[in-house]
Amino acid sequence: KRPIIIDTDPGIDDAVALAIALFSEELEVKLITTIAGNVSVDKVTNNALKLLKFFNKDIPVAIGSNEPLLVAFEDASNVHGQSGMDGYEFEEPTQELVLSEHAVNAMRRTIMNSSVPITLVPIGPLTNIALLLKMYPEVKENIDEIVLMGGSASRGNKGVMSEFNIATDPEAAKIVFASGVPIAMAGLDVGWKALVYPEDCAALKDMNKTGSMIHSLFQHYRGGSMKTGLKMYDSCAIAYLLKPEMFEIVETHVDVELNGSLTAGCTVVDLKGYLKKPNNAKVCLDIDTVMFKEWFMDSLKKCD
């Protein structure tokens, strides 16, 4: 099994990605770390605990940063609801799985103690990952790859050109892309095509316990408007881990714009080599939507 750490801000699409990863036979989730993003770090941590209780999985959880490195925090409760995971009455979780260490220290310990290089899977803003790489650069030697959901080679969803996870903490994202650790980026180019339609959602309802929970959450995702498809952004990072052949991937240089008055927080994906910088990321530019849908539904069937 491939050992991974998921850094997350659940988040309705995070909840789905977590389900698939936690029930996958090919992945071993060693640690879950939380990050302020879709809502505050307290709320997303509680959401992660609710999900683990629901799935009956005892994975340690470490609480991460409650704000970006420099910019002011803006959440996405307009998309995911006030709780970050509106739409399902979860049982209140206990705090037993919560570690006393900060996420950054828990990641360091888990990485350094692993006999096999660990893959980091950030599906929220990159604050914790940037802090980890700056505070404990020795971890780089035992990180296999960072497979992240974030950024875009085209347009944005937070600003004209910026994607939410990157734009929430652009300085952190810049640190991560400049870190020298191999990166795979599943951004909006694929997230916008990884869609769940009303008929898929209907099929989830009676699929199994997880499917029916996700069905309920989907009634509240983006205020319940499903006709144009619900975007399974964070599942794309998990899909990349498990079935990379569904993506069209290009290796290139990616940097993050910090100062542009119109473009701050955007990933600059140098597809034509203007910057003359070495490649630092494998960027998913396209996705086979038929393969994705089949993989997605099959994966959720196993979440039982």
Q: Which is nearer to ligand BDR, 33 or 165 (CB)?
A: 165
If binding is defined by CB under 6 A, does position 11 make contact with ligand BDR? yes
Alpha helices in 56-208 (DSSP H): 77-80, 103-112, 127-135, 164-168, 170-177, 188-191, 198-205
Instruction: Candidates 5, 20, 35, 79: give the one binding ligand BDR (CB under 6 A).
Output: 79
In contact, 58 and 30? CB cutoff 8 Å: no
Q: How far is the CB of 137 from Ca ion (least distance, A)?
A: 26
- Between CA 189 and CA 233 the distance in angstroms is 10
Find the binding residues for Ca ion in span 234-253 (CB under 5 A): 234
Find the binding residues for ligand BDR in span 218-257 (CB under 6 A): 233-234
Instruction: Candidates 23, 55, 88, 164: give the one binding ligand BDR (CB under 6 A).
Output: 164
Residue 5: CB partners within 8 Å, gap ≥ 6?
29, 30, 31, 32, 33, 107, 110, 111, 118, 119, 120, 121
SS3 for 117?
coil
Q: How far is the CB of 79 from ligand BDR (least distance, A)?
A: 6
Question: What would the x/- binding string for Ca ion be over residues 173 to 192, using CB under 5 A?
Answer: --------------------
Place of tokens 């937070």: 158
In contact, 143 and 245? CB cutoff 8 Å: no
Q: Which is nearer to ligand BDR, 8 or 108 (CB)?
A: 8
SS3 for 200?
helix
If binding is defined by CB under 6 A, does position 7 make contact with ligand BDR? no
Binding residues for ligand BDR, how many (CB under 6 A)?
A: 15
Structure token pair of residue 102: 């900060």
- Between CA 21 and CA 46 the distance in angstroms is 19
If binding is defined by CB under 5 A, does position 123 make contact with Ca ion? yes
Distances (CA, A) of 111 to 35, 114, 192: 18, 5, 32
Strand partners, 269: 254
If binding is defined by CB under 5 A, does position 14 make contact with Ca ion? yes
Instruction: Give the residue closest to ligand BDR by C-beta.
Output: 164
Identify the CA nearest to 167 among candidates 155, 179, 158.
158
Q: Which is nearer to Ca ion, 11 or 68 (CB)?
A: 11
Residue 290: CB partners within 8 Å, gap ≥ 6?
none
Q: How far is the CB of 188 from ligand BDR (least distance, A)?
A: 6
Q: Which is nearer to Ca ion, 133 or 186 (CB)?
A: 186
If binding is defined by CB under 5 A, does position 84 make contact with Ca ion? no
Instruction: Candidates 47, 128, 157, 235: give the one binding ligand BDR (CB under 6 A).
Output: 157
Instruction: Candidates 13, 145, 169, 255: give the one binding ligand BDR (CB under 6 A).
Output: 13
Find the binding residues for ligand BDR in span 260-299 (CB under 6 A): none
Residues of this chain that interact with Ca ion (CB under 5 A) are: 9, 11, 14, 123-124, 234
Residues of this chain that interact with ligand BDR (CB under 6 A) are: 11, 13-14, 38, 76, 79, 123-124, 149, 157, 163-165, 233-234
